Amino acid sequence: MRRRAFIQGMAAAGGLAFLPSLRAATSVDELPPLEGDLTLYLGRGEGGLYENVLKAIETRNPKLKLGVRRGPTAALANAIVAEGKAGVQRADVFWAVDSGAVGLISDAGIARPLPSDVAAQLQLAFRYDNWTPVTGRIRTLPYHTGRLSAEQIPEDIMAFPDSGLTLGWSPAYASFQSFITAMRLLEGDAATKDWLQRVKRSGKSYAGELGVVMAVERGEVDVGFANHYYTLRLKAGKPDANVALAYTRNDAGCLVNASAAVAVSDKPLATNFIRYLLTEQVQSYLAREAYEIPLVEGVAPPGALPRMSAINPPEIDLTALADLRPTLDLMRDADVL
Amino acid sequence: MIRISPTYPLAAVIAVCALLPLVVLGILAEAPDGLLQARNLRLLGNTLLLAGLTACGSIAIGVPFALLTAYVSLPLQRLWLVLLAAPLALPSYIGAFAFFAAFGPSGEFAVTLGVTIPSVEGMAGAALVMTLYTYPFVMLTTRAALLSLDASQVHAARILGLSLSASLWQVVLPRALRGIGAGALLAALYALSDFGTPAIMGVDTFTRMIYVEYNAFSLGRAAVLSLQLLVIVGLVLFLESQLSSTSERPGRALALYPTSAQTLSAAAVALPIILLALALPIGIFTLWLWREGSAGFELSYVWNSAYAALLAGGFAAILAIPMALAAMAGPAGRFMERLTYFGFGVPGIVMGTALVYVGLQLPSLYQTLMLLVAAYVMRFLPLAVGSLRATAEGIDESLVKAARVLGATPREAFMRVTLPLTRRGLIAGAALVFLESMRELPATLLLAPTGFETLATYLWRVYEAGYFGRAAVPGLLLVLISAFGLMLILSGEQQGDTAHREEECN
- Residue whose C-alpha is closest to residue B127's, from B16, B49, B214, B232: B49
Q: What average pLDDT does range A113-137 have in this prediction?
A: 90
> Residue A243: which CATH number?
3.40.190.10
Going by DSSP bridges, is the β-strand pair A167-169/A203-205 parallel, antiparallel, or unpaired? parallel
Would you put residue B279 in left (φ > 0), alpha (ψ -120 to 50) or beta? Answer: alpha
A266 domain residue, yes or no: yes
pLDDT (0 to 100) of residue B495: 58
Instruction: Flag if B360 and A75 touch (Cβ within 8 Å).
Output: no
User: CA-nearest residue of chain A to B217?
Assistant: A78
**How many angstroms separate the CA atoms of A221 and B106, rounded?**
13
CA atoms within 13 A on the CB side of B137: 24
| Same structural domain, A179 and A216 | yes
How many Å lie between the alpha carbon of B297 and the closest alpha carbon of chain A?
Answer: 12
pLDDT (0 to 100) of residue B492: 64
How big is the A-B interface in CB pairs under 8 Å? Answer: 81
Please report the ipTM that was assigned to this predicted complex. 0.78
How many Å lie between the alpha carbon of A22 and the closest alpha carbon of chain B?
Answer: 38
Segment (H or E) for B20: helix B20-28
Show the domain range for A203. Answer: 138-255+327-333
| pLDDT 10s digits, B278-299 | 999 999 999 999 988 887 788 9
Domain boundaries in chain B? Answer: 1-30+299-452
| Same structural domain, A6 and A132 | yes
| Same structural domain, A220 and A294 | no
Find out whether A285 is annotated in a ligand binding site.
Answer: no
A321 domain residue, yes or no: no
Q: Is the separation of the CB atoms in A109 and A129 below 8 Å?
A: no
DSSP-H helix ranges across B279-418: 280-292, 299-329, 331-345, 348-361, 369-392, 397-405, 410-413
How many Å lie between the alpha carbon of A26 and the closest alpha carbon of chain B?
Answer: 29
| pLDDT 10s digits, B258-268 | 888 999 999 99
Torsion of CA B159, B161, B163, B164, to 10 degrees: -10
**How many angstroms separate the CA atoms of B475 and B285, rounded?**
6
| Same structural domain, A43 and A61 | yes
How many Å lie between the alpha carbon of B448 and the closest alpha carbon of chain A?
Answer: 9
| pLDDT 10s digits, A58-68 | 999 999 999 99
| Same structural domain, A145 and A79 | no
Find out whether A230 is annotated in a ligand binding site.
Answer: yes
| Same structural domain, A12 and A127 | yes
Q: Hey, which residues does B20 pair with through a beta bridge?
A: none
Chain A residues lying within 8 Å of B214, measured CB to CB: 75
pLDDT (0 to 100) of residue A311: 78
pLDDT (0 to 100) of residue B501: 45
Q: What average pLDDT does range A153-162 have in this prediction?
A: 92
pLDDT (0 to 100) of residue B296: 79
Instruction: Say which DSSP state B454 is in.
Output: -
**CA B325 distance to own-chain centroid:** 24
Pick the CATH number of B1-30+299-452 from 3.10.20.600, 1.10.3720.10, 2.40.50.320, 1.10.10.10: 1.10.3720.10
Instruction: Flag if B217 and A82 touch (Cβ within 8 Å).
Output: yes
**How many angstroms separate the CA atoms of B167 and B211, rounded?**
48
Q: What average pLDDT does range A136-152 have in this prediction?
A: 92
| Same structural domain, A81 and A205 | no
Question: Which of B33, B292, B368, B450 to mutate: most A Cβ within 10 Å?
Answer: B450
Q: Which residues make Cβ contacts (< 8 Å) with residue B228, sequence separation at least 6?
A: B35, B40, B44, B206
- Residue whose C-alpha is closest to residue A39's, from B452, B505, B98: B452
Q: How many domains does chain A have?
A: 2
**How many angstroms separate the CA atoms of B38 and B43, rounded?**
9
Chain B residues lying within 8 Å of A68, measured CB to CB: 450-451
| Same structural domain, A128 and A16 | yes
Higher pLDDT, residue B67 or A304: B67
Is the alpha carbon torsion for B246, B248, B250, B253 positive or negative? negative
Q: Is the separation of the CB atoms in B450 and A90 below 8 Å?
A: yes
pLDDT (0 to 100) of residue B68: 93
A320 domain residue, yes or no: no
| Same structural domain, A168 and A78 | no
A322 domain residue, yes or no: no
Q: Is the separation of the CB atoms in A111 and A263 below 8 Å?
A: yes
Q: Is the separation of the CB atoms in A149 and A143 below 8 Å?
A: no
A299 domain residue, yes or no: yes
pLDDT (0 to 100) of residue A75: 84
pLDDT (0 to 100) of residue A47: 59
| Same structural domain, A132 and A143 | no
A238 shares contact with chain B (CB less than 8 Å): no
- Residue whose C-alpha is closest to residue A121's, from A138, A107, A113, A133: A133
Instruction: Say which DSSP state A44 is in.
Output: E
- Residue whose C-alpha is closest to residue B130's, from B234, B230, B203, B69: B203
| Same structural domain, A120 and A224 | no
Lowest mean pLDDT among A8-12, A46-50, B94-98, B220-224: A8-12
Q: Is the separation of the CB atoms in A326 and A189 below 8 Å?
A: yes
CA atoms within 13 A on the CB side of A200: 14
**pLDDT-based confidence at residue A9 (cuts at 50, 70, 90):** very low
A224 domain residue, yes or no: yes
pLDDT (0 to 100) of residue A289: 85
Q: Which residues make Cβ contacts (< 8 Å) with residue B360, sequence separation at least 6?
A: A82, A83, A86, A88, B366
**pLDDT-based confidence at residue A7 (cuts at 50, 70, 90):** very low
Q: Is the separation of the CB atoms in B192 and B233 below 8 Å?
A: yes
Torsion of CA B357, B340, B50, A45, to 10 degrees: 30
Please identify every stretch of chain B with a pLDDT value under 70, giving residue numbers as ranges.
1-3, 31-37, 217, 244-247, 492-506
User: CA-nearest residue of chain A to B214?
Assistant: A75
pLDDT (0 to 100) of residue B41: 84
Instruction: Flag if A90 and B217 touch (Cβ within 8 Å).
Output: no
Chain B residues lying within 8 Å of A47, measured CB to CB: 465-467
